[in-house]
Amino acid sequence: MSTGLIIALANIFNSGFQGSIRWVMVGCDLLIFMYNLKVTFNQKQNEAANQNTVGIVSRKRR
């Protein structure tokens, strides 16, 4: 998940790329990082919702 962030930070301090291409790469890597964060949080939220649903269903059967 943190690969995009690590690559973005590496590109900020890397002198191999100059000018605007460096910032394009940093921006893309930050977008990748934010997308991965969103996917991870959605998965965790869905898992929590599924656990709550299982508890409600089991209570109704009693």
Q: Is 11 exposed, middle or buried (0-12, 13-18, 19+ CB in 10 A)?
A: buried
pLDDT at 59: 55
Residue ranges per structural domain of the chain: 3-61
- pTM of the full structure: 0.61
pLDDT at 61: 54
Q: How many angstroms separate the CA atoms of 16 and 26, rounded?
A: 13
**What pLDDT, in 10s, does the model give residues 7-52?**
778 877 876 767 788 788 888 888 988 998 999 999 888 887 777 7
